[in-house]
Chains A and B, each alone.
Chain A
Amino acid sequence: MADLHTVNKSPFEKSSLETAIKCSLAGSSILLIEDGVYGATKGTVAEDMVKGAMGDRKVYALKSDLMARAIKDDRIIDGIEIVDYAGFVDLVEATDKVQAWL
């Protein structure tokens, strides 16, 4: 069972990303959207947590939300895949269900 976990809040505002990682199984996907994309940036106190999750989960970030927040490619943790809304839809289809961590 591989679920898609969406996280829309910054890891510095709320613990939603941490909880999503804790509650997601190996093989699941995590998609960062809205303010959640701040969790995709390098050099933060959340980076190790995210990289740890990437060991057995796939992490994605939504392109338009990254762009709006001036997060350029070189500031994004290596290995995080950037997707657009069409890609978001594809992820929903490719996984078993969506869990929204608000």
Chain B
Amino acid sequence: MTDLSHWAHDTRPRFRMRPPSFSLPVPAGLPERLRPLLAWVVPALLLVAWWSVTQVHLVPEQILPAPAIVVRAFSALIASGDLQSNLLISLNRVGYGFGAGALAGLGFGAAMGFSDGFARLVRPTFLIIAQVPVLAWLPFLMLLLGIGEALKIVLVAKSVFVPVTLSTTAGIRSVPARWLELARVLRFSRWKTLCRVILPAALPQLFGGLRYGLTHAWMALVVVELLASYEGIGYLMIYSRQLFQLDVMVAIMLVIGAVGLLFDRVLALGEAWLARRYGGAA
């Protein structure tokens, strides 16, 4: 019943349509090389706007600190080592949670993909668990596990587990029956069928699930650190919020964004590589 297409929304290929007649086309003479430069226009404008607003004291500094102050806060964070140590803690949590969740999701998803009986048995339960969002699990798990390390890792793992399971099952199910038939005709062993036929065909979907899972993992970790933590990047943010240190907050927010962007880019590169290597599967 549950439509699973929603977790795949940004893995679809992008088709460029021809601009309609009334649109403002990109100037025809513009070389392709300049396009990446255009991407920086808006951020640069925003920066200038930010700078000038603070320069003329349009808004009080407690509400919007000047860029220079944020940079100073940022270097102070690095100099004191606070940023590195807390970021390391957060990344560790994401690492363990993601690892546990992805492994469990791969195993569970594979079991559901290969065995109809198992799928029929556990699918309803799985969907019930999946329907309750990570955030709703939070108070429950806080009562069960306290607010220690286990809470964060379990919560991150849960946020990874669901999309990875779904995409693994879908990936295995999407292997064309003809291919499996061919493997049978060629008398491939089970192991060889798995490595040579099923994995390559399921890999793109599978990887999409991992990528989506990592995005969710980062989001889940930030929430749990905002709510129930005494260290980590999210805690650093909520702490500076309490002290009304907006400069520190802005700096940390940029770091959180940068880490998210980095995760996404790295996995997108992996995805593109896989698509090239195993392109045309399914």
A and B found bound together: no
User: B residues touching A (Cβ–Cβ < 8 Å)?
Assistant: none
